[in-house]
């Protein structure tokens, strides 16, 4: 069909308008479009990531994984490092690890730091975790982190953790991850018995924290002289398997995690659904970026614990671990600087997930300041709640540097707030690293259904986030 002169003019005008738009308007673009040619690589990374999250859940397991990978890539335990060791790792109480790759330049010049957290939402066993409530042996739990309690009902749960027996020997426990192993479950009430009162319950009252106990056993032990025969079955089974007694639970760290493997979501396989993308995804991508980047700058990767309960405790971001290790390396290299100075001169990413836009809950977000799954890595200038309380607000100068880095590397990225103003809020480890006066900003993929047993992330955002972390380590 030929184009008529009249139509042509209209089109030219239209072009001119779009040119102006192009020049002046900010347009959020689909990362799928931007990275279409790299889809295979994104798929590959998604598969590798799934392998990781399907196999490593607790902080201890994740630290073990990192140690294994670190060693394989030539990193040396700080205890064995010498003044010329370039690749060092250090582990804090088995639940917190850092990897550092040094250069010949003085440490005083600062480092590139990517910090994330490896703890995730779960249900911890109490110190006295077993009681019989006929016809069941119940596992007494205390939830960890900000969960919607009802999410965890009728969800298969696997036990992960460690027990120290009377002799102080460490016993690793995993029950419920293999297909032929049993799982544990907190059963919900059937709808038939809910009644009007039950149906009108507030979400927070559907199950009380104290009632979140899981079924642990149901078959009474043969010996009828025993008073609590189902409890006896549970303890006997644990004893047969792990050689432990009831009292050994007091010196243990055991938790129930969703026994759910990752799956691809949508007919196009575009998303990955799994428990605890938050924040295993940024941790995994940070490590990948560290191993796959070429950098003239010293690189540091930090995996912290206890973020979900406010970064308190000796394995959290609030611990002195990071500072102490840097101090140790300075001493080792006989450099004339301090850990505080090194950290002050560093640039950092607080690598954590953010909320992704969900059309069903569109009213919770500001349409012009939100992150959409499939639109790339999200940069969050500030987090916090209310009037930005407890958010680390990154300097515009640093955002400008970050923006240049992302544009140079042609990485699709977006920016937004967690939700509407006064809708709620959240935080990360950013404000704690910011205490050292370093440049820091939050960056990670948007996630749907965060803190649920089946969180969703776009594969292309996962890939864009990896590229962003890599570019961060590599930028001059
Ligand atoms: Mn997080
Ligand atoms: Mn979280």
Q: Distance, CA 456 to ligand 2 centroid (Å)?
A: 13
Mean pLDDT of 375-383: 96
305 with 418, same domain: the answer is yes
pLDDT band with cut points at 50, 70 and 90 for residue 159: very high
Query: How confident is the model at residue 155, as a pLDDT?
Result: 98
How many angstroms is it from 308 CA to the middle of ligand 2? 5
**308 Cα: distance to centroid of ligand 1 (angstroms):** 7
164 and 86, same domain (yes or no): no
Q: pLDDT of 436-457, one tens digit each? A: 999 999 999 999 999 999 999 9
* Measured distance CA(389)–CA(393) in Å, rounded: 10
Ligand index nearest the alpha carbon of residue 275:
2
Same domain flag for 160 and 281: no
Same domain, 253 and 159: yes
Give the strand pairing for 354-355 and 446-448.
parallel
Q: Is residue 270 part of a domain?
A: no
In a domain? residue 283: yes
- Report which bound ligand comes closest to the CA of 121: 2
For residues 384 and 413, give the distance between their C-alpha atoms in angstroms, rounded to a whole number.
21
Between CA 428 and CA 396 the distance in angstroms is 19
Q: How far apart are CA 239 and CA 62, in angstroms?
A: 26
* 463 Cα–ligand 1 center, Å: 18
Tokens found for residue 169: 């020997």
CA of 414 to the centre of ligand 1 (A): 18
Residue 13: pLDDT over 70: no
In this structure, the number of other CB atoms found within 10 A of the CB of residue 65 comes to 19
Per the domain annotation, does 1 fall within a domain?
no
**Ligand 1 mean position to 277 CA, how many Å?**
9
Residues of the chain above pLDDT 90, percent? 91
Task: Answer yes or no: is 150 within a domain.
Answer: yes
Q: For the segment 22-32, what is each residue's pLDDT rounded down to a tens digit?
A: 889 998 899 99
Provide the domain limits for residue 80: 31-120+275-474
At residue 14, the pLDDT reads: 56
> In the predicted model, what is the mean pLDDT of residues 233-249?
98
Q: What is the pLDDT of residue 278?
A: 98
Rounded Cα–Cα distance for residues 53 and 353 (Å)? 15
pLDDT in tens, 297-331: 999 999 999 999 999 999 999 999 999 999 999 99
Of 244-248, 271-275, 282-286, 386-390, the poorest mean pLDDT is in 386-390
Q: What is the mean pLDDT of residues 423-435?
A: 93
Residue 19 has pLDDT above 80, yes or no: yes
How far, rounded to the nearest angstrom, does the alpha carbon of residue 247 sit from its chain's CA centroid?
A: 33
Give the number of whichever ligand sits closest to the CA of residue 350: 1
Asked whether residue 109 falls in the same domain as residue 136, the answer is no
Q: In terms of domains, do 410 and 459 share one?
A: yes
Q: What is the pLDDT of residue 72?
A: 98
* Ligand 2 centroid to residue 317 C-alpha, Å: 14
Q: In angstroms, what is the span from residue 454 Cα to ligand 1's centroid?
A: 15
Q: How large is the greatest C-alpha to C-alpha distance in the chain, in angstroms?
A: 100
The per-residue pLDDT for 11 is: 53
166 and 178 co-located in one domain: yes
- How confident is the model over 77-96, as a mean pLDDT? 98
Instruction: Provide the CATH number for the domain around residue 155.
Output: 2.30.250.10
Report the separation in Å between the CA atom of 278 and the middle of ligand 2, taken as the mean of its atom positions: 5
């Amino acid at each position: 069909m030929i184009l008529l002169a009249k139509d042509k003019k209209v089109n030219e005008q239209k072009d001119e308008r779009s040119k102006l738009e192009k020049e002046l308007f900010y347009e959020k673009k689909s990362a799928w479009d931007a990275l279409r040619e790299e889809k295979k690589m994104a798929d590959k990374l998604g598969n590798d990531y799934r392998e990781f999250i399907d196999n490593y859940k607790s902080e201890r397991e994740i630290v073990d994984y990192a140690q294994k990978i670190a060693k394989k890539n030539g990193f040396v335990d700080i205890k064995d490092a010498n003044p010329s060791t370039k690749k060092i790792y250090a582990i804090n109480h088995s639940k917190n690890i850092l990897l550092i790759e040094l250069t010949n330049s003085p440490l005083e010049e600062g480092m590139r730091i990517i910090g994330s957290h490896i703890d995730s939402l779960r249900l911890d066993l109490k110190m006295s975790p077993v009681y019989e409530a006929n016809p069941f042996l119940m596992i007494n739990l205390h939830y960890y982190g900000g969960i919607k309690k009802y999410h965890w009902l009728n969800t298969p749960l696997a036990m992960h953790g460690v027990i120290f027996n009377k002799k102080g020997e460490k016993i690793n426990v995993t029950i419920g991850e293999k297909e032929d192993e049993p799982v544990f479950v907190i059963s919900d009430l059937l709808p038939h018995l809910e009644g009007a009162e039950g149906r009108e319950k507030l979400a927070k009252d559907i199950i009380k924290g104290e009632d979140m106990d899981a079924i642990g056993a149901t078959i009474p032990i043969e010996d009828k002289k025993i008073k609590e025969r189902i409890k006896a079955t549970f303890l006997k089974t644990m004893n047969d398997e792990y050689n432990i007694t009831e009292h050994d639970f007091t010196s243990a760290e055991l938790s129930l995690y969703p026994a759910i493997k990752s799956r691809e979501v949508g007919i196009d396989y575009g998303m990955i659904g799994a428990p605890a993308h938050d924040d295993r995804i940024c941790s995994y991508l940070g490590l990948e970026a560290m191993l796959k980047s070429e950098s003239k700058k010293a690189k540091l990767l930090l995996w912290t614990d206890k973020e979900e309960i406010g970064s308190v405790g000796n394995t959290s971001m609030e611990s002195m671990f990071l500072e102490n290790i840097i101090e140790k390396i300075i001493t080792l290299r006989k450099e004339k600087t301090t850990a505080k100075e090194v950290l002050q001169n560093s640039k950092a990413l607080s690598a954590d997930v953010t909320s992704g836009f969900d059309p069903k809950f569109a009213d919770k977000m500001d349409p012009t300041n939100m992150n959409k799954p499939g639109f790339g890595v999200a940069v969050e200038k500030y987090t916090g709640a209310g009037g930005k309380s407890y958010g680390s607000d990154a300097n515009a100068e640093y955002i400008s540097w970050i923006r240049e880095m992302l544009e140079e590397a042609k990485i699709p990225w977006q920016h937004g707030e967690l939700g509407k103003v006064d809708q709620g809020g959240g935080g990360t480890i950013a404000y704690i690293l910011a205490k050292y006066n370093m440049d820091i900003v939050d960056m990670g993929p948007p996630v749907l259904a965060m803190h649920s047993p089946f969180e969703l992330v776009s594969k292309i955002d996962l890939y864009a986030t990896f590229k962003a972390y890599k570019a961060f380590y590599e930028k001059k």
